[in-house]
Amino acid sequence: MAKSAEQWSARPNFPQTHYVDSRIYTDREIFGEEKEKLFKPSWIIACHESELPNPCDYRLFTHPAGVPLIIVRGDDAKVRAFYNICPHRGNTILYDPSGNAKRMTCIFHQWSFDTRGNCLDISRAEQGYQNRFSKEDAGMREVKCEVAYGGFVWVNLLDECMPLREFIGGAMDILEPFMQEPMEIFHFHKAHLRTNYKLWHDTNSEFYHDFLHYFNRITGMMQPGYFDRKYTAYPNGHATVGSMQIQYDKYEGSKERAVGWPGLARGGWYMVDLFPGMTYNLRTSVMRIDTAIPLGPNEVVIEFRGLGLKRDTPEERAQRIFDHNMIWGPFGRNLHEDLLGVTGQGRAMREGTDSRWVIQGREENNTIHDEIGMRHFYAEWSRRMERPAYDPYREGKPEPVRAVA
């Protein structure tokens, strides 16, 4: 039966852990708080070490909290991260998204810095600053940086932050056996979308939307073991999805994947969703990494990376690229469908549309169509934001709290 305005606005008849107020996807104030409370204290993937193969190679990264960063491999081979902001007049220091720079020189007044963040030279320093200010006072702002979990470069903006290993906890245990060999990036693209970053993470956190994908409807969902895949929740909002065997030959134009992944069963597939907006996705022959960079409550850039093994032969690499593109490339079958889906959510939930609730109520013993992944995310979101996702403005009547399934 269709709903009246009152019925539409009424809280869903689910426990408060099983739905969220859709204003958390559109409110500018909440978005500002998310940058401070979620993204700044979290460890975020900035790039992969194979993007910085040589000393003095650098890569730019816009941190989800808004800070422009330079990730650079030093002359000592150590990877470090700095603000891409000149300490002089606040200009951008490096403009190109990647390169090699023994000296990082600001184009504005030619102040230059080494790969360890030291200021090397201030133009006409003595004439202008006499003894009041020198290059020793003009270092770059360094932020925490570690290379870990498959050679990815992680950054954290807080000097006093939780250690990376503590932040991740046991969430990467499921993937660690498959990340013992060096990986190498072969694919990178960005998708700029009018939607909220959480909606993308939601899509990566639930498989019920496999109904969106023709490919999955006739492959994964039809196969034994599909409904046995389980979600496992970890502290700090992370979650994993267990494996299954995909029979690619069920899809016309596809075929059983000839190139596998060390240690991974043929056709295997594992996922790790990391709070607040990153996903590791190891599917048969390819590792895909998503990093969400929110630009506003209804605007996000998602960075997509595809990786193979550094030791790949040209033939193996070509096969991995083919496998990646079939499903996950910009012209791939599934990625376009997923991105179209979250863009539609962004359109329906933008400010003023009277979208009210998002239901996350499926319970199937934590298996593949259970919505535990999203519920777990929003439990952590609510804890860190000090706002319940089901009632972010505390307008509703208190309900008995039920533990997240």
Partner 1 sequence: MNRTEQRQAVEELVYRSCLTLDNKDWKGFLALCDDDFRYHITAYSPEIRRDMTWLEQDKKGMDTLLTNLPRHNSDHSPITRHATVYTVELDEAKGEAAVVSALQVFRTQLDGGGSELFAVGRFYDTVKLNGSGPRLAKRIVKLETRQLGYGYHVPF
For residues 132 to 171, the per-residue mask of contacts with partner 1, x marking binding by CB under 8 A and - elsewhere, is ----------------------------------------
- Residue 51 beta carbon to partner 1: minimum distance, rounded to whole angstroms: 5
Among 337, 350, 361, 364, binds partner 1 (CB under 8 A): 337
Query: How many residues touch partner 1 (CB under 8 A)?
Result: 35
Among 141, 343, 369, 383, binds partner 1 (CB under 8 A): 343
For residues 173 to 212, the per-residue mask of contacts with partner 1, x marking binding by CB under 8 A and - elsewhere, is ------------xxxxxxxxx------------------x
How many other CB atoms are found less than 10 A from the CB of residue 379? 17
The number of residues in the chain equals 405
Residues 6+ away with beta carbon under 8 Å from 198:
24, 25, 276, 277, 377, 381
Of 86-115, which residues contact partner 1 (CB under 8 A)?
96-98
Establish if 335 lies at the interface with partner 1 (CB under 8 A): yes
- The residue type of 318 is A
In the complex with partner 1, the residue whose CB is nearer, 317 or 362, is: 317
- Residue 169 beta carbon to partner 1: minimum distance, rounded to whole angstroms: 30
- Residue 344 beta carbon to partner 1: minimum distance, rounded to whole angstroms: 9
In the complex with partner 1, the residue whose CB is nearer, 324 or 387, is: 324
Establish if 44 lies at the interface with partner 1 (CB under 8 A): no
- Residue 333 beta carbon to partner 1: minimum distance, rounded to whole angstroms: 6
Angle at 40 between CA 34 and CA 43, to 5 degrees: 115
- Residue 211 beta carbon to partner 1: minimum distance, rounded to whole angstroms: 10
In the complex with partner 1, the residue whose CB is nearer, 37 or 213, is: 213
Residue recorded with tokens 């389980």: 230
- Residue 99 beta carbon to partner 1: minimum distance, rounded to whole angstroms: 8
Among 27, 51, 370, 391, binds partner 1 (CB under 8 A): 51
d(CA 84, CA 94) in angstroms, rounded, equals 7
Nearest one of 138, 162, 149, 163 to 82, comparing CA atoms: 138
- Residue 193 beta carbon to partner 1: minimum distance, rounded to whole angstroms: 6
Establish if 332 lies at the interface with partner 1 (CB under 8 A): yes
Of 291-330, which residues contact partner 1 (CB under 8 A)?
321-322, 325, 329-330
Among 333, 376, 384, 387, binds partner 1 (CB under 8 A): 333
In the complex with partner 1, the residue whose CB is nearer, 198 or 305, is: 305
Among 18, 37, 40, 59, binds partner 1 (CB under 8 A): 59
How many other CB atoms are found less than 10 A from the CB of residue 227? 15
Q: Name the phi and psi angles at 213, rounded to 5.
A: -105, 115
- Residue 48 beta carbon to partner 1: minimum distance, rounded to whole angstroms: 9
For residues 237 to 256, the per-residue mask of contacts with partner 1, x marking binding by CB under 8 A and - elsewhere, is ---------------xx---
- Residue 272 beta carbon to partner 1: minimum distance, rounded to whole angstroms: 22
d(CA 55, CA 212) in angstroms, rounded, equals 45
In the complex with partner 1, the residue whose CB is nearer, 335 or 372, is: 335
**Residue ranges binding partner 1 (CB under 8 A):** 51, 59, 96-98, 185-193, 212-215, 252-253, 321-322, 325, 329-333, 335-337, 339-341, 343
